[in-house]
Amino acid sequence: MKAEELRYAKTHEWVAVDGDTATVGITDFAVKLLTDIVYLSLPIVGKSYSPGQAMGEVESVKAVSDIYAPVSGEVIEVNSALPDNLVLLNDSPLEKAWIARLRMHSPSEAGSLLSYADYVKHCDKAHH
Amino acid sequence: MRNPTATQLLFEMSCAGRGTEVFPASDVPDVTGVPKIGADFLASGPLPLPEIAEPDVVRHFVNLSTLNMSVDSHFYPLGSCTMKYNPKRHERLARLPQAANSHPYQSESQVQGLLSVLYEMQTMLAEISGLPGVSLHPAAGAQGEFTALLTAAAWFRDRGENRTRVLFPASAHGTNPASAALAGFECVQLSGGRDGFVDLEELKAHLDERTAVFMVTNPNTLGLFERDIAVVSEMLHSVGGLVYIDGANMNAILGRTRPGDFGGDMMHYNVHKTFTGPHGAGGPGAGPIAVRDFLAPFLPAPVVTFDAARNWYSLSVPEKSIGRVRTFFGNVGILLRGYFYIRTLGGRGLREASENAVLNANYLLSQVKDFLEVPHGDRCMHEFVASAKRQKDLTGVTTMDIAKRLLDYGFHAPTVYFPLVVEEALMMEPTETESLQTLDAFAGALRKICSEPAELVKGAPHSTAVCRPDEVNAARKPVLCWSAPNC
Amino acid sequence: MAYLFDTPEQRKIMFDAIGIASIDELFQQIPAELQLKRELDLPPALSELALEQDMQRRLGSAGGRGTCFLGGGVYDHFIPAVVDEITSRGEFYTAYTPYQAEASQGTLQAFYEYQTLISQLTGMDVSNASLYEGGTAVSEAVFMAMRINGRHGRVAIAGTLHPEYRQVLETYCSRLGTELVEIPHTNGVISAEACRAALDSETCAVVLQQPNFFGCLEDIRGLTDIAHAAGALSILAFDAVSPGMLKRPGEYGVDIAVAEGQPLGTPLQYGGPLLGIFTCRGDYVRKMPGRLIGKTTDRKGKECFVLNLQTREQHIRRDKATSNICTNQGLLALRTTVFLATVGPAGMRQMATLSHQKARYAAELLTAIPGVSLKFPGAFFREFLLETPLPACDMLKALSDRGYDVGPDMGRFSLTSVDGWQNCFLVALTEKRTRAEIEGLADAMRGVLERV
């Protein structure tokens, strides 16, 4: 997957849309901001989330960050290998470090997420 | 002198079969007339505890103790924690029979002396705070916060009000939001003004009929006295809310001003900080609360009351009490040490202690401000927050590096990375029980560190038994308990 | 007087450096109208000698105290002198929370050893580095159970739980809308039927005590299985001395085990400071309240210790923290560490067995007195509920007048779930009580009843 082809939430989640399925992960930018991630809790399969609702958590030694649902939908699959291989978040944030797949309640929501270019701008602003 | 060979764990020192009989043999006969414990309930074998001879136990812990910095051995300017000298005179007194060996279910007649002291402590804490209702019950400051919030909630309920929100500034101690959430309130964090004070406009925008309590530390965690505190209090009261004063920084204002006089409705004391108690490598504390008269009927139980006609002290339950938040009376052992402190200082001594705490902090500030940024001005109360942002930007040396390097110079580090509103924060609280020479030596070390090669500082500490433990790995694969090899 | 030592010349140096002429200038930060214009109205300052004389007068006597047979959560156990000697060392006594690992390896290693010793004592996977005391530990356990299974509707509490533990839990839950359901006891213990009947799909946890408040032994394994079958967690408050002789909490399969740690090396101090022991299953560790010490390695690969999993705590997670606790009971945890290292497995076994044997002997002698009986028929460990023909408060007062402090009586807690509670009180034994003292108590009670 190419970063340019994905959609983004301001809360630093990326979304890959395939039909009514959204694959969600956290961005490289977020991973770097948190420094060494030591723990990740996954969303619950079968549970539905609305946009902006916390569905998981990532932790570094000194900080905790919620992972927010970028779109509304039901979690149909989670990357259960990820919590034990957190290094994937650094090595392969867009491929192997996906976090969950959601069956979107209204796929049109994805359209309101940021494009890559807008997300990069958002990060620049957030960082300064 | 540190013994470099002595860092074995207790468990590695154990030798099976070494255990000695600690207690005398039973002096009572076996009996048959009472029910016997069934085999189902009995342990299958001895506990897997280590077996160590007493001399080895002593050597082990004495050697461990030499790996610590402490107030008795080092300057310990840990901001917000008030690491002042612990008077030795308190220790013998705290071991007097009625203090040390009374069981909490002892009859009142057997603890009249102790209750008289605790009653006097209540009275003294009411006078020092300017708030008449005192409960000595809470075990530590955080529990005091929680207890006071429940007390406030009970008062609101009694008035038929359902207020749901607790407000606090971003610079608040983490315990404030944690206690508010535990007490079932919705937490609203205010960002505060750039000058470090509560932003009145921002506060006003958040006040409404849902507002229950505004929690504020005063002096605040930047070491500044909230100059508009009386206005803040009026604003809260005008919408029917209450003001909670986090008393962590009481050491700045004893005898100079009182929470009750500047608009606080309730507060907690950290007895072990302000009035000295063994910090004990993390505790115990005692977190008595003081409240306005209208809140007093809701205080937790028990409180000590005095019947002058009978000359009798009793434990009582306030009329509309929220109940208990812990077993038994409170952390009596710590309350007594606080009491001894107040009795030996008196009104004038407390005021002098605060004056010198503020003097020492301002002097230290004056000695570091030319090489460390102090974002919130050149006056402070009993502590101030410096920032190593400049150092970080210029040389890559962070607050953490400076903190670690201070250890090499024989000083404990200040509180670091708190409050969260200051980047690369170094929060320094020298306390009143430090001399000019110590402050000069500390400022000199800091100054030197700020001009040392970055690599040297980033490699610190160089003189301690260990250097920069790997916290990332510790958190990823937590090892919280020793286990026997091959088990 | 305050502990100050700067000379007028030194103060002058400080004033000049700051740029002030008087201390009052520093306090101009406080608006004038808010400043206290008088001295605090406190008793006049005392010298060390004068304070000592005053305190000797008020606290120096035992207040007419007698031999201690008091129980109900804290007990008059023996404390080896080594515990006081080690823990009063300034390097432990006057340090604080080990935030700077390099300056606190002594504390950190000692607390890692504490966590391990408590795991060994309980048979549970993980122990934290202490909570305030047993009662709040129960409340924290219930809150942790809510985080684990997400059930907030109900908590089932054994009717045999320490009434003060229950009162604390009531206060802690008072604003959450969580219903506390009491599981009634039959003859001083919880039956499987009563437990089952108290549970439903909203029940978060079952809170049990072993030995229970009345001193009796519960079928913790059976009750835990019932809790688990209902999707609830099993929380156990246990007597910290009992593992010296009885099964450890871990052997019952409970999820969270807590205790009042006072019996293991801490003096009574009229009920505080005490020690909250808190342990749980390993897979729940990230939901735990309180501080945790972990083992790791430093830059040079040397084994060392750090504060671990701090993201659970209030200074990082703030309103979402697993507890609001900050200052804990470190010094008391250290006392227990030294205590357990000193007494070892043999000492723990002796302590538990002696307390039990003496309790049995006391029960036998006391129940031989006409009209005096054990309230409940089941086996007990070191404490038992006694019923006499007199109102308990009168009996305890009379015994106290004869030099024996016994109790608490059930009237103190309005424990109406016990028939005839007005005449019932606890009698607790430790290894410290001698045969002569036990026989003396029996004689005293006989004497009281003969005079009626």
Residue C392 is part of a domain; what is its CATH number? 3.90.1150.10
In tens, the pLDDT along A9-58 reads 999 999 999 999 999 999 988 888 888 899 999 999 999 999 999 999 99
Give the domain-ending residue among B314, B345, B376: B345
Same domain, B3 and B62: yes
Residue of C269, C397, C399, C432 best to disrupt the B interface, most CBs of B under 10 A: C269
- In a 13 Å sphere around the CA of B147, the CA atoms on its Cβ side amount to 35
Residue B487 reports pLDDT greater than 70: no
Residues of B whose CB is below 8 A from C164: 324, 327-328
Residue C48 reports pLDDT greater than 90: yes
Overall average pLDDT of the B106-114 stretch: 95
Q: Do A39 and C316 touch (CB under 8 A)?
A: no
**Would you say C39 and B347 are in contact if contact means Cβ atoms under 8 Å apart?**
yes
Q: How confident is the model at residue B96 (pLDDT cuts 50, 70, 90)?
A: very high
Same domain, C382 and C316: no
| Beta partners for residue C390, in sequence order | none
Same domain, C328 and C423: no
In tens, the pLDDT along B47-73 reads 999 999 999 999 999 999 999 999 999
Measured distance CA(C263)–CA(C344) in Å, rounded: 15
Measured distance CA(C326)–CA(C320) in Å, rounded: 14
> The domain containing residue C437 runs over which residues?
67-76+344-450
In a domain, B480, yes or no: no
**Would you say B238 and B263 are in contact if contact means Cβ atoms under 8 Å apart?**
no
A60, closest residue in chain B (CA to CA): B472
In a domain, C31, yes or no: no
* 3.20.20.140, 2.60.40.10, 2.40.50.100, 3.40.1390.10: CATH of A3-105: 2.40.50.100
> The domain containing residue B375 runs over which residues?
350-470
What element of type H or E holds B246?
strand B242-247
Complete edge-to-edge strand list for the sheet that includes strand C154-158 = C126-127, C276-280, C256-260, C233-239, C203-210, C154-158, C179-183
Q: How many domains would you assign to chain B?
A: 3
Measured distance CA(C219)–CA(C160) in Å, rounded: 12
Same domain, C273 and C355: no
Give the domain-ending residue among B345, B363, B378: B345
Same domain, B323 and B391: no
Task: For residue A71, report the phi and psi dihedrals to the nearest 5 degrees.
Answer: -135, 165
Same domain, B7 and B151: no
| Beta partners for residue C205, in sequence order | C155, C233
Q: Do B105 and C103 touch (CB under 8 A)?
A: no
What are the counts of helices (DSSP H) followed by strands (DSSP E) for chain A?
3, 9
Q: How confident is the model at residue A94 (pLDDT cuts 50, 70, 90)?
A: confident
Q: How confident is the model at residue C170 (pLDDT cuts 50, 70, 90)?
A: very high
Same domain, B295 and B308: yes
In a domain, C14, yes or no: no
Same domain, B408 and B268: no
**Would you say A126 and A84 are in contact if contact means Cβ atoms under 8 Å apart?**
no
Same domain, C279 and C359: no
In tens, the pLDDT along B345-354 reads 999 999 999 9
Same domain, B163 and B292: yes
In a domain, B291, yes or no: yes
Q: Do B475 and A86 touch (CB under 8 A)?
A: no
What pLDDT is stored for residue B484 in this prediction?
A: 84
Same domain, B340 and B356: no
Same domain, B125 and B195: yes
Overall average pLDDT of the B407-425 stretch: 95
CATH number for the domain spanning C137: value is 3.40.640.10
Same domain, B143 and B176: yes
- Distance in Å from the first CA to the final CA of chain A: 28
For chain A, the residues whose C-beta falls within 8 A of a C-beta of chain B are: 36, 38-39, 59-62, 86
Q: Do A62 and C310 touch (CB under 8 A)?
A: yes
Q: How many domains would you assign to chain C?
A: 2
| Beta partners for residue C451, in sequence order | none
Residues of C whose CB is below 8 A from A62: 310-311, 316
Same domain, B191 and B240: yes
- In a 13 Å sphere around the CA of B17, the CA atoms on its Cβ side amount to 0
Same domain, B322 and B466: no
Q: How confident is the model at residue A2 (pLDDT cuts 50, 70, 90)?
A: confident
Same domain, B375 and B318: no
In tens, the pLDDT along C257-284 reads 999 999 999 999 999 999 999 999 999 9
**Would you say B299 and B291 are in contact if contact means Cβ atoms under 8 Å apart?**
yes
Same domain, C406 and C383: yes
Residue of C88, C102, C357, C393 best to disrupt the B interface, most CBs of B under 10 A: C102
Same domain, C365 and C400: yes
**Would you say C150 and C178 are in contact if contact means Cβ atoms under 8 Å apart?**
no
- The CA–CA distances, whole Å, from B386 to B13, B367, B369, C295, C322 equal 45, 12, 8, 32, 30
- The CA–CA distances, whole Å, from C94 to B70, B87, B340, B463, C89 equal 5, 10, 17, 21, 8
Q: Do A38 and B417 touch (CB under 8 A)?
A: no
CATH number for the domain spanning B359: value is 3.90.1150.10
CA angle B452, B458, B460 (to 5 degrees): 90
CA angle C261, C282, C345 (to 5 degrees): 45
What element of type H or E holds A21?
strand A21-26
